[in-house]
Chains A and B, each alone.
Chain A
Amino acid sequence: MPPGPPRRIRDERFSVLAGVALAGFLLVVLGLLRLQVVQREELSRLAEQNRIRLDVLRAPRGAIRDRHGRLLADNQPSFDIVFRPMPAESLSRSRTLIPTDWLLRISSLVQDDTTVIKRRVQEANRTGQTAVLRRNAPYSVMAAVEEMRADLSGVDVQVAPIRRYPEGTLGAQLLGYAGEINDVELEKRADAGYRMGDLIGKTGVERRYEEMLRGRDGAEFVVVNAMGKRVSTLSEGPPRPPIPGHDVTLTIDLDIQRALEEGMAGVEHGAAVVMDPRDGSVLAMVSKPVYDPNEFSRGITYARWRELIASGNPLLNRAIQSAYPPGSTFKIVTMLAGLRNELVKADTHLPTSCSGGYFFGGRRFGCWDKRGHGSLNLLGALQFSCDVYFYQLGLKLGLDRLQAVARAVGLGEKTGIDLPGETRGLVPTKEWYERRYKGGMPRGALLNLGIGQGELLCSPLQLALMTSVAANGGRAVRPHVVMKVQGVPEFRIEKPTEPGLDTSPENWTAVHDAMKLVVDAGTATVVRMPGIGVAGKTGTAQNPHGNDHALFVCYAPTDVPTIAIAVVAENSGHGGSVCGPIAAHVLRRVLLGDSLATAPPKRAAKRDSTRAVAADTLEVAGD
């Protein structure tokens, strides 16, 4: 302030500020008068005999549908046994003490542990909010509670929505499930307005799209009497209606999903993915064994959960969370790398012809066909999956060029699919070998990499992505399972994480021709379709823990590819004969519209070791 403004101006300004202050204080006094004089009686009555309770109006969770709008998940009413905190007088007395006999009766009624019930009741008393004691109670329990309600103060039956999966086990791991929020999640998400007893997506789409699917609960203030019975609603706060969550539409096609499930029926442990190579949308995804998510939304006991985990861990989505050696399906990558780096052409014969094995560094590396393939060109080598040819090609390529192409088609990194818990797989680099082995990459590792063995690991989703990129002639796509979210028009599918692979059209023609030969007259003739070109590659991955894993990838039709499939069956032998028929079944359904196509014959899957699963689970844990 410039020194010495006239006294009069200062006084004027003081009066303005003082006036504002006085007006503010007057407003507070008016507020006090309104409450303490005008509304005194009404508020005193509320304070003394009746209590205000907050009743939550549950918002329904958004539905999940397939690409044609067919229902995959929605809500159904569940009758919950709840505890409503008691009115103030009894509360201040019983705050620390919950009568033991009351507790015992409740816990025998709802069939839960007394410590659990006690904790929930205490929490409810502390916060003044309703606690759920038993979700989705069967009719008998409900009837018993209704009968004894007069004696059990605070206990009530409340209707709330729970999740329903009408297709049961179909696409279980993909959809995931929604269940009651646990303490850890509650702690982490307290900021987002979650409360005890809320539903929250635990796995799969339910978890990844939690924010969209979740509605916003409403609330209503009600006046209750000393027994906790509702007397009226409170005029004070109008009820806040619940806002339902957004419906989510998946890229999954229920028909294709069903076809794939039928095809996989004979596989004990494994996974398969069907993808549209044009845009990366997932048309079907199956992981075996399966579970019924409805069991989880109804509330599952710990014993049952242990039982499930012990039976091959069906909760694991093997399509994205397990990583397998790609085996011979990886020869597509080796072939591409050789062509791209101009080391071979479609008709190139390599120096050593196949006599059933190859000597390198004083060691013999066998070909799968012990009789030998003789001298083959590149196309023939892929067609008959000749290991000796690809040993030599791997050696010519070297690690850097091979792994660069593998990464470009989507291996070794997360594909960025919109599902939680995806594995990265493994495409080893020079640095990786240096960390792993003293003295860097061991001699001979390149030979194994060339045929898809060694340290390589891929999820079935990555294999489907690799096949899609190959079918596209190198254009990368972003795998995704959600097509649109209702009410969120700005929802976009994200860009691919990898740039794709840029190489000449002749090279692509060679790869496509070779893959078509595999089906027409090679190792996967079971997949031949009348009138429609199919291109594929079989794989049999050696598994140190048990029988070989069978793999198969393919795309069709060959002129304009609209479908890409990857199938992995654990511990069940040769890829062409085990996984081929599964892919063929899906192709017949989708491309020939043959709704009567019968499922491939069930094969008794050989399974002599449970350690294989343990190894795969470890892969996920490390991710």
Chain B
Amino acid sequence: MTKLRLPHLDWPLALAVFGLVTIGMLTVYSATSIPGAHQGLWMKQLAWCFLAFGAAWVVAAIHYRLYDSLSWPLYAVSLLLLVAVLVVGTSKMGAKRWIEIGPLQFQPSEIAKIATTFVLARFFDHAKLDLTKVRWWLPPLLIALVPFALVAKEPDLGTGLSFPVMLVAMYFWAGMPLGRLLLGLSPVFNVALFFLTGSIWWFVALFTGLLAFARPKVTLLVGILAINAAVAVALPHMWNQLHDYQRRRIETFLNPDHDPYGAGYQIIQSKIAIGSGGVTGKGYLKGSQKALSFLPMRHTDFIYSVVGEEGGFLGALTVVILYGVVVLRGYRLAAVARDGFASLVAVGVVTALFFHIMVNMLMTVGWAPVTGVPLPFLSYGGTALIVNCVQIGLLQNVALRRREY
């Protein structure tokens, strides 16, 4: 244990997080102030808050070398927990995401996210790492895709996707050339563009541009082309083979909020709440739309719509700026840290946070599907708050020791 020396903390990061948690507390209070089942939840959230700060403190105090050396066992345990949750997990809203131990409930996917970051960082921090070679690509892919598949099966696609997203950022940070990285991602673009546009020609154009930019070796080019060709041939064929009740299942999988019209309804209510807030907002505790019980998740997943209604554009912008500070300070820490492991952990942690922020905020403004991902630091919920603060603790850990090798 190192004695904490306050001046070494990253103060802008700490203050931004403190600001976000404060706004979160106030908003949870406002969102649950109307009579109903959730009244008084803010007190519970306050208790979680102290616990979360304590956890962050402990995580920051332990030297990251210990995390480095424990990364594989941690990863193994988290995978076991992910399998366990599929077997004995508690169902909520049709998804098995929780494990209950006595009065405690936690989501193994959150632990897996951190453990996977450690393992990936440890792997990429290898002395002989050469990401221009294919055999160095594959192990990290496997490391990230196993927890992704397990979490996606719960189903929790929103959280699950943070694994591959984190992986991509860490590939890049560990030195994979951007062109190669995009080329490697091309099957994903392929699938996405096919679903969005219904034709493969958009992808062909994009791919040609990519080739001109990356100029890969012949063997690599052939490999990538083969994968893309396989995807392009198999996908429409597979989709057409499916019958509408099977497609229905896939759609349900992509949108775990099973109620077919519930999701669209929430988004419209969210948009009305935010839009009616205007530039300056209706004032704290004065939102009329949040009073609608039509927004059933107003204190959790849709808390940002309450911020937008009561705080208006200015309030919502403040939150965006605070998140901006957190993310940019986080990436900056990764850039200045001298130790490879620490730097990579910082990138992984910040990317996972950023991804969750984006998925939630774009959902509340109606530009992303409803996936049931809470907003970091703001949404009501103990596990998420603790995990997010632990992530900040890890960043502060890196900040404290940024000059060490």
Q: What residues of chain A have their CB less than 8 Å away from a CB belonging to chain B? A: 1-5, 10-11, 13-14, 16-18, 21-22, 24-25, 27-29, 31-37, 39-40, 42-44, 46-48, 52, 54, 56, 88, 91-92, 95-96, 125-128, 190-193, 195, 211-212, 216-217, 219, 221, 234, 236-237, 240, 243, 487-488, 490
Contacts and interface: CB of A to CB of B under 8 A. Distances in A.
A29 B320 contact: yes
B288 interface: yes
A92 to B, nearest CB: 5
Given A21-B328, A29-B320, A44-B278, A237 B313 contact: no
Given A32-B320, A36-B308, A221-B265, 18 more contacts: A2-B129, A2-B175, A2-B340, A3-B340, A13-B172, A28-B320, A31-B367, A32-B365, A36-B278, A37-B279, A40-B278, A46-B276, A47-B273, A47-B276, A128-B293, A128-B294, A216-B248, A490-B243
B16 interface: no
A1 B340 contact: yes
B34 interface: yes
Contacts of B243: 487-488, 490
A21 B327 contact: yes
B132 to A, nearest CB: 13
A236 B268 contact: yes
A56 B261 CA distance: 9
Contacts of A191: 94, 258
B273 A13 contact: no
Interface stretch (B1-9, B97-105, B184-192, B354-362): B354-362
Q: Which 4 A-B pairs have the closest CB atoms?
A: A43-B275, A31-B365, A47-B276, A191-B94
Contact of B258 (A88, A193, A490): A193
B293 A52 contact: no
Contact of A91 (B169, B175, B292): B292
29 contacts: A1-B175, A1-B340, A1-B343, A4-B338, A16-B172, A17-B347, A22-B328, A25-B320, A28-B320, A28-B365, A29-B317, A31-B366, A32-B365, A35-B271, A36-B275, A36-B278, A37-B313, A43-B275, A91-B292, A91-B293, A95-B35, A128-B294, A193-B259, A219-B261, A221-B264, A236-B271, A237-B264, A237-B268, A487-B244
B55 to A, nearest CB: 25
A34 B293 CA distance: 25
Given A1-B125, A42-B275, A237-B268, A18 B328 contact: yes
B344 interface: yes
Contact of B174 (A1, A36, A217, A243): A1
Contacts of B296: 127
A25 B124 contact: no
Interface string B325-367: 0011001101100101001100100010010001001100111
A17 B34 CA distance: 41
B269 A52 contact: yes
B272 A43 contact: yes
A216 B244 CA distance: 10
B264 A2 contact: no
B178 interface: yes
A191 B94 CA distance: 5
Interface string B246-281: 001000100000111100110011011111111100
A217 B264 CA distance: 14
Contacts of B124: 1
A490 to B, nearest CB: 7
B127 interface: yes
Nearest to B170: A1
Contacts of A11: 335
B275 A35 contact: yes
Tier of interface size on chain B: 35 or more
A10 B244 contact: no
B303 interface: no
Nearest to A92: B291
A182 to B, nearest CB: 19
Contacts of A219: 260-261, 264
A100 to B, nearest CB: 20
B261 A52 contact: no
Nearest to B309: A47
A52 B272 contact: yes
B323 interface: yes
A218 B292 CA distance: 24
B334 A39 contact: no
Nearest to B37: A126
B316 interface: yes
A210 to B, nearest CB: 12
Interface string B153-188: 000000000000000010011110010000000000
B94 A190 contact: yes
A125 B296 CA distance: 12
Contacts of B358: 24, 27-28
Nearest to B336: A10
Contact of B362 (A22, A27, A48): A27
Nearest to A14: B335
Contact of A88 (B172, B173, B245, B288): B288
B324 A22 contact: yes
Nearest to B327: A21
A43 B271 contact: yes
A331 to B, nearest CB: 47
B312 interface: yes
B289 interface: yes
Interface in B114-170: 124-125, 127, 129, 169
A31 B351 CA distance: 21
Contacts of B273: 47
Contacts of B272: 43, 46-47, 52
Contact of A33 (B248, B276, B313): B313
A14 B312 contact: no
Nearest to A88: B292
B293 A95 contact: yes
